[in-house]
Structure 1
Amino acid sequence: MTPAQLSTTIVDGLTALVEQGSLALPDGVPSEVTVERPRQKGHGDYATNVALQLAKKAGTNPRALGEMLAEQLRTADGIGAVDVAGPGFLNITVEAGAQGQVAAEIVAAGERYGASDAFRGERINLEFVSANPTGPIHIGGVRWAAVGDALGRIFTMTGAEVTREYYFNDHGSQIDRFSGSLLAAAKGDPTPEDGYGGQYIHDIARAILDQRPDVLGLGDEEAQEVFRAVGVDMMFEEIKKSLHDFGVDFDVFFHEDELHRSGAVDRAVARLRELGNVYEQDGAVWLATEKFGDDKDRVVIKSDGQGAYLSGDLAYYLDKRERGFDRCLIMLGADHHGYVGRMNAMCAAFGDQPGTNLEILIGQMVNLVRDGQPMRMSKRAGTVVTIDDLVEAIGVDAARYALARYSSDSNIDLDLDLWARATNDNPVFTVQYAHARVSSLLSNAADLGVEAASHPELLTHEKEGVLLRALAEFPRVVTAAAELRGPHRVARYLEELAGTYHRFYDSCRVLPMGDEETTDLHRARLLLVQATRTVLANGLGLLGVSAPERM
């Protein structure tokens, strides 16, 4: 019996009490009830505080409601015992057969175990990374690559239709500085004062010269345009390749420049004007964001007729909504924290709901440590540590897992020495090793001709029960990770599950020894092992990390 199934049983019990006239709930019976694993042994398999939550509405005290509900639940299928504790907590023990059935359900569901309809019918635009095409992706962008892609997988698992989108910043002064830096490198001149340095600039400049050996014979202005067009394309192709090699691919690459060339900015301003939220002052067009919670109104079109930076944001947001997305999630670095207020005000100015139609997630800093010292410089980029530096140091799996393992609103220090180790103090090794160990056992079972079978009533050992309850938690963990935008919840769950499995294996022999006869208990435990492999593989898949069969 999973927590979701137990929740349904409790709801059915409440419904029965209402229909019998024993309980009055003016707001109706809740559609679901929170069920948790108790922290202390001896408090049953699951606990709920539903009696405390509903007692006031029902006009009774929690303990009395708890006793009524407990009596009702004791007659339900799959319930072994129900105790009322303290002011009205219900501690529930599930029958071994009902609990053991979870293993068969997991194996039957396979790759779909953990899926739900929590976000069914929602179209979500997930914009992340969106690094400027002026250099390799730095470590902050790599964090969003890992977290964003994992979140996309989790949203999909919970029923959403997800579009991964990369906003290609190919409009503005940073592109001018990039192309000027390429031109200077090609001519052998020093890097411009506000330009970009690093070996990659010289590599791209050399590649452009190989393609266009005539370019330096052009005037500087015309030559810089060549370096802009060709160099941006080269840098962006390299960014896309690095992300692909990291296991991250996007559905849409949206060009900022297109917003300004297509008239999208004018359409956005016109829409806001119709809504009465733009005005003109000092020759400029302003968006009245202060009335929507921003600290001041913002210029949209400057007095010289050029679009301010916000103009592109307005057009881009409206474009996403017109493409039919219910939720627009944008992942930004810590240096964009001050940007949140104006973006939420912009959303409200369009008549939308901040936090629902537009949500901005801020990711904090990532610091890499090697040999006890901060790692700050890239051999190739010169100024920042890049995605390729991280992958070279610890590999794709460890990098993705390490970056997704922590809540994105916390700073993290990644010890590269630890994450490169094949030892149990390395979290990704711990989880992957558990999967490999499970796979090895299943391979040995196949060699012995032992087949798994469902005998849930035989899984009565304490460690079997703990493992079954842990496996049953996975769907709830996935849903919580989606609702709270926290892929790290999946990672931490997997680490706990790996430890739980090892303790089960150490206490419960799965395969027969020597000439020992194969029993139904062996077969039942083998099914439990199969269920464990399914959950470990599904969880690692949500993080974009491989589930190896050998290590």
Structure 2
Amino acid sequence: MTPADLSLTVLHAVRRAVGEGALGERARVPERVKVERPRPGGRGDWATNAALQLSREAGMEPLGVARVLVPRIAEAEGIARVEITGPGFLNITLADRGGHALVREVLTRGRRYGHGTTLQGRAFRLSHPDHVRAVVLAGAVGDLLRAQGADVTDVTDAADVPDVPDSGSAARAETVARAETVARAETVARAETGARAETVALHPLPVTHDVRALGPDAARWALLRPAAHDRALAPDGLLVQSEANPLFTVRYAHARARALLRNAAQLGIGAAYEEEVDAPRLLTVLGDHPAVLEAAARHRAPDRVARHLEATADAFLGFQHTVLPLGDEKPSAAHRSRLALAEAAGTVLAGGLALLGISAPDYL
């Protein structure tokens, strides 16, 4: 169960409680409820402050609201336990806490793992200056919003758009094709959606140097990795192939995941998550990926995706040495399971890079 799925589960429980009158006559169903990893002192896999969010309108103490919601959340499929901590936080433990469901979901959804429907039915108009950083930021923000189900229109006149660094990768081409399909649909529905579209004004600090000399991938990283209110990255070091360059590290981690699959095939080992893998850090960052994409879309912040990719690459590179048999070691279910986890990590890295418009080569 992804964070977006769990958020909908909690929202459904709230809707039931409101509909049954268990939260009083004034309570209203919120547009969304937030789920996040438990803070220090919390328990379980996820936590939500939904009870605190509802308490004022309900005219009840947060603990009272929490007690109403607990049984309604706990009976949902995929929920093992719901506990109350602090002033009314709900701590949720999922029924399938292992890596089986996570790896299966990543490999089933591929590069679209983490895409969701939390913004479905909402329309956005992106407004921004015509300097290169603003155009690149708007493209990435638009892709992130679309990945969460939103309709997006860029109102900048295409004739005024400067030369934008653009990756020629297949992943980027797929993203652009999807965006063009959405744009054609928006043109047909412009009269209907224009009135209800929310305008998003993007005003990143302009870049002070020519990023085109970096090539499309490094240029886009230089423009998107810092938050919009921070300066774009200086070109020094962005083309260096070393761990000191985070972009290289992320793309190298993806290439290593692909190399492990090739090497495993030569050894006759196939990827299959058959038993639990002791890689809590890597499993955690992969499980957090959908929540990161949703937050990046809501906050119009591609830099959150870039930082998460760095964390994912770091976790994977610390794990990769355990994947294949060493010496006289015989291939086993443990190796097949580690290989499946490595493939899932590479898939997440490739999908995240594609949303930033950056290629994920199989060889570096």
TM-score range relative to shorter protein:
0.7 to 0.9
The 8 Å contact of residues 35 and 47 in structure 2, kept in 1 or not, is answered as yes
Change (3 A) 1:426 1:80: same
How far the C-alpha of 1:67 sits from its partner, in A, is 4.4
What does residue 157 of structure 1 align with?
147
Give the secondary structure class of the aligned counterpart of 2:233: strand
CA deviation string 1:13-61 (max 9, x = no partner): 5566668876546435556431101344874321111122223444432
Confirm whether residue 451 of structure 1 aligns to residue 270 of structure 2.
yes
Q: Distance in 2 between matches of 1:245 and 1:548?
A: 15
- Structure 1, gaps ≥5 residues long: 131-140, 170-235, 252-319, 328-351, 368-384
Give the secondary structure class of the aligned counterpart of 2:47: strand
Confirm whether residue 364 of structure 1 aligns to residue 196 of structure 2.
no
What does residue 391 of structure 1 align with?
212
The 8 Å contact of residues 124 and 153 in structure 2, kept in 1 or not, is answered as yes
Amino acid at match of 2:207: V
Q: Distance in 1 between matches of 2:283 and 2:75?
A: 23
The 8 Å contact of residues 48 and 90 in structure 1, kept in 2 or not, is answered as yes
Change (3 A) 1:496 1:69: same
What does residue 181 of structure 2 align with?
none
What does residue 83 of structure 1 align with?
83
Q: Distance in 2 between matches of 1:110 and 1:163?
A: 26
What does residue 513 of structure 1 align with?
326
**Corresponding residue to 2:159 among 160, 168, 176:** 168
How far the C-alpha of 1:547 sits from its partner, in A, is 0.6
What does residue 182 of structure 2 align with?
none
Amino acid at match of 1:448: L
**Corresponding residue to 2:301 among 486, 490, 497:** 486
What does residue 54 of structure 1 align with?
54
Q: Distance in 2 between matches of 1:20 and 1:125?
A: 38
The 8 Å contact of residues 48 and 91 in structure 1, kept in 2 or not, is answered as yes
Amino acid at match of 1:468: L
**Corresponding residue to 2:339 among 505, 512, 526:** 526
What does residue 467 of structure 1 align with?
282
CA deviation string 1:286-327 (max 9, x = no partner): xxxxxxxxxxxxxxxxxxxxxxxxxxxxxxxxxx99954846
What does residue 267 of structure 1 align with?
none
TM-score by length of structure 1 reads: 0.54
Which of the pair is proportionally richer in strand?
A: 1
Q: Distance in 2 between matches of 1:431 and 1:550?
A: 13
Q: Distance in 2 between matches of 1:71 and 1:118?
A: 24
What does residue 549 of structure 1 align with?
362
**Corresponding residue to 1:497 among 312, 326, 334:** 312
Q: Distance in 2 between matches of 1:513 and 1:94?
A: 35
Change (3 A) 1:513 1:541: same
The 8 Å contact of residues 25 and 57 in structure 1, kept in 2 or not, is answered as no
CA deviation string 1:448-478 (max 9, x = no partner): 22222244xx4363x33x4334223323332
How far the C-alpha of 1:529 sits from its partner, in A, is 2.0
Amino acid at match of 2:303: H
Confirm whether residue 402 of structure 1 aligns to residue 222 of structure 2.
yes
How far the C-alpha of 1:539 sits from its partner, in A, is 0.7
Residues 11-22 of structure 1 mapped to structure 2, 5 A cutoff? 11-14=11-14
CA deviation string 1:202-258 (max 9, x = no partner): xxxxxxxxxxxxxxxxxxxxxxxxxxxxxxxxxx9xx6xx5376669999xxxxxxx
The 8 Å contact of residues 154 and 542 in structure 1, kept in 2 or not, is answered as yes
Sequence identity percentage: 39
Name which one, 1 or 2, has greater alpha-carbon Rg. 1
Provide the alpha-carbon RMSD of the alignment. 3.7
What does residue 258 of structure 2 align with?
439
